[in-house]
Amino acid sequence: MTSPSPDILRAELLAADAIGDIIEHWGFRKVLGRVWTVLFLGATPTPAADIGERLQMSAGAVSMALTELQRWGVVRRVWRPGERREFFEAETDFWKMISKVFDERERLLAGSVRQRLEEAAAILGRARGAEAVVALDRANRLLAFVLVAQTALDGFIKSRRVDFTRFGDLVSFPLRSVQRRKA
Amino acid sequence: MTSPSPDILRAELLAADAIGDIIEHWGFRKVLGRVWTVLFLGATPTPAADIGERLQMSAGAVSMALTELQRWGVVRRVWRPGERREFFEAETDFWKMISKVFDERERLLAGSVRQRLEEAAAILGRARGAEAVVALDRANRLLAFVLVAQTALDGFIKSRRVDFTRFGDLVSFPLRSVQRRKA
DNA sequence: TTGAAGTTTCAGAACCTTCTGAAACCTTGT
DNA sequence: ACAAGGTTTCAGAAGGTTCTGAAACTTCAA
């Protein structure tokens, strides 16, 4: 177990690094993708030390990565009777992973962004002058876009099915009067 | 032009920062989102110096941000007859922006990731032993997922319409014939 | 209770990214 | 050809993020 054949190890590292790149691209640390991949390919619950050995990481780094992966729900801790160490395994349901991550990420920002855009629109609504009118119009458009995008993503996650047909229209429609609430 | 009312400026900064956060969340620098937002809200082609003043950025930083935004096709340079300076305006077609950015981003990684995963699978295909069999199975699943995701995103961008109904199934189908081994 | 095995935490080191400020580089008018 | 206005570039500074290594902590067994 602690000595995978050199070939298998090489393949694992290759795949791990590729997935690391994707994952980094979507805003996570490379190492999270690498650790997950090694667990996923291994298919067998694996102790932390093994991961550190394969990926040449310190025990501390492995621990931190595993903690974060568990927070995202993409790695599980497995208890083995009679074993002192903990074992870890990758979540294999890709959909579960995607929806969980999307969900959490969206929730983090959605509220504050909406709030700030609404506040900005309110200020502009109170302001005077041609400049303010134009800015208000644009701010409302921005707000509308953010709301549409959030709703669409949300629907996608909830149903695994979404029709984006009107999405394109909604986000590029010529600006008319997108009235939101008044101040 | 160089003296927006304090209220309007405040609203602009509020919105700019909110969009900056979203944009950062999707893997770009905050400042790109802020600059774009100021241009978008201003609605009028704006010289670089104005942006620096409003967002308190050095001329260098403004220049770099504008260059990058133009590379992504979300900001345009506008020439004004009789004006020595250059003016900039935001692309207002959200869909254009989204598709362009997605497109470029995907293209960047898609190839190399696919290649590396295929290489890994090839190595595992040559390797012997139960471990290699399991790893190969998983690597293929990973590859299948990446391909499906890429195709789906691609279709989405090309048509503004995509049916994700089968997506969920494809990415979460149960792994056949891979049993967890006993400890 | 003590010690061994394993894990987590965290201060500082190493690394990476972004920004500043100044110089170099256009472009245009004289 | 030169100077002025404007923009770009880039070395180094500043700031931020991630990792290491060691200490602290936890758990289990004797």
Confidence of residue B164 (pLDDT cuts 50, 70, 90): low
User: Whole-angstrom Cα distance, residue B93 to residue B77?
Assistant: 16
pLDDT at position B174 over 60: no
Is the CB atom of residue B57 positioned under 7 angstroms from any atom of strand C? Answer: yes
Q: Which residue has the higher pLDDT, B67 or B98?
A: B67
Distance from residue A60's CA to nucleotide D23's C1', rounded to whole Å: 12
For domain A6-92, the CATH class is mainly alpha
**Amino acid A165: pLDDT:** 54
**Amino acid B97: pLDDT:** 82
**pLDDT tens readout for residues A153-165:** 777 777 665 555 5
**Amino acid B1: pLDDT:** 47
The amino acid that residue A11 corresponds to is: A
**Amino acid A179: pLDDT:** 35
Question: How big, in percent rounded to 5, are the helix, strand and coil portions of chain A?
Answer: 70, 5, 25
**Amino acid A181: pLDDT:** 35
User: By CA distance, what is A143's nearest residue in B?
Assistant: B15
H or E element at residue A129: none
Which residues are paired to B130 by β-bridges? none
Q: Which of B13, B90, B8, B92 minimizes the C-alpha distance to A130?
A: B8
Distance from residue A22's CA to nucleotide C5's C1', rounded to whole Å: 36
Q: Assess contact for B125 and B116: CB atoms under 8 A.
A: no
Q: Assess contact for B143 and B121: CB atoms under 8 A.
A: yes
Q: Which of B41, B24, B44 minimizes the C-alpha distance to B33?
A: B24
**Amino acid B161: pLDDT:** 55
Strand C near-CB residues (< 7 Å), A 44-73: 47-49, 59-60, 62-64, 66-67
What does the angle CA B90 – CA B27 – CA A22 come to, to the nearest 5 degrees? Answer: 135
Which of residues 48 through 77 in chain A touch B, CB cutoff 8 A? none
Q: How far is B57 from chain A (nearest CA, A)?
A: 21
**Amino acid A171: pLDDT:** 52
Q: How far is A63 from chain B (nearest CA, A)?
A: 23
Which of A22, A138, A164 shows the shortest C-beta gap to B156?
A164
**pLDDT tens readout for residues B111-160:** 889 999 999 999 999 999 888 999 999 999 999 888 888 787 777 777 66
**Amino acid B183: pLDDT:** 26
**Amino acid A18: pLDDT:** 93
Mutation site, A83, A123, A143, interface B, largest B CB count within 10 A: A123
Block residue for tokens 């770099």: B64
**Amino acid A173: pLDDT:** 45
Residues of chain B with Cβ-Cβ distance to A94 below 8 Å are 145, 171-172
Low-confidence residues in chain A, pLDDT < 50: 1-2, 172-183
**Amino acid A126: pLDDT:** 94
**Amino acid A175: pLDDT:** 41
* Percent of chain A residues past pLDDT 70, beyond the cut: 84
Nucleotides of D under 7 A from a protein CB: 5-11, 17-23, 27-28
Q: Kindly state the average pLDDT of the residues B42-62.
A: 93
**Amino acid B179: pLDDT:** 32
Q: Kindly state the average pLDDT of the residues B67-90.
A: 90
Give the start-to-end residue ranges of the domains of chain A.
Answer: 6-92, 95-172
Residues of chain B with Cβ-Cβ distance to A121 below 8 Å are 11
Q: Which tokens sit at B177?
A: 């014939």
Is the CB atom of residue A181 positioned under 7 angstroms from any atom of strand D? Answer: no
**Amino acid B3: pLDDT:** 63
